[in-house]
């Protein structure tokens, strides 16, 4: 399953665990951007949803500690728009704007 996902960019839920994850499509940051631009949307920016913070094996525990949480949130904010680090985040979110046409 992982080999297929990495080579074709499509996740199909495993037959044994259909409730585990929905069908999904993987994108590299530039592919995601181009997909929206091709629909005549104005690209604004791409955000890393989790950023690199998810690599912290104690993420959930550390988020309960005020000092560690502050550090994790700061790291997330610093890296959320870094185009080189976006692929480290399991999820990306894109911000676009619909182009308006007046007088038509």
Distance CA 96, CA 36 (A): 8
Q: Is the pTM of this model over 0.75?
A: no
DSSP state of 42: E
Q: What's the pLDDT at 96?
A: 95
CB-CB contact of 49 with 29 (8 Å)? no
Q: What's the pLDDT at 36?
A: 94
What is the chain's pLDDT, residue by residue, as a tens digit (104 residues)?
Answer: 778 888 888 888 888 887 777 888 888 888 899 999 999 999 999 999 888 888 899 999 999 999 999 999 998 888 888 888 888 888 889 999 998 776 55
């Amino acid at each position: 399953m992982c080999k297929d996902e990495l080579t074709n960019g499509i996740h199909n839920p495993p037959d044994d665990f259909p409730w585990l994850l929905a069908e999904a499509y993987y994108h590299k940051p530039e592919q995601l951007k181009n997909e929206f631009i091709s629909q005549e949307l104005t690209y604004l920016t791409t955000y890393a949803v989790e950023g690199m913070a998810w690599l912290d094996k104690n993420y959930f525990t550390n988020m309960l500690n005020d000092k560690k949480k502050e550090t994790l949130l700061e790291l997330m904010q610093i890296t959320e728009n870094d185009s080189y680090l976006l692929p480290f985040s399991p999820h990306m979110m894109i911000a676009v704007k619909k182009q308006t046409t007046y007088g038509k």
